[in-house]
Amino acid sequence: MIEVTEKATEKIREFLQSQAGPGNIRILLQDKGGKRPFLRMFFAEPGENDTIITEQGITFSVDKELLEIAKPIRIDYAEIDEQQAGFQITSRLPMVGFRRR
């Protein structure tokens, strides 16, 4: 359901070690006012309707409905140069028919 590359796992663990808040990573659908929605990760407690998944010792939570239409979710980390790096989240998420609550 969730696949995390080795590089992404390494970077997430680095962030978790420096994070004082919850050790859970929540994956959400982000909608930026009319632009194409995309998946994002946040340090946050699981939501009421979330599925909890542990992958490579890291705990993720994803809304059950979102997970069903988006799975598999793949998390990678890419470094383009010293100033451009970040996580990339891909899925089979269709942009039509997902009801946000």
Q: Give residue limits of the domains in the chain.
A: 2-90
Q: Is the peptide bond before 72 cis (omega within 30 degrees of 0)?
A: yes
Using one digit for the tens of pLDDT, what is the confidence trace for 32-90?
666 677 899 999 999 999 999 999 889 999 999 999 989 999 999 998 887 889 999 99
- 2-90 CATH, one of 2.60.300.12, 3.60.20.10, 1.10.8.80, 1.10.1200.10: 2.60.300.12
Give dist(CA 23, CA 30) in Å, integer: 21
Provide the whole-model pTM: 0.81
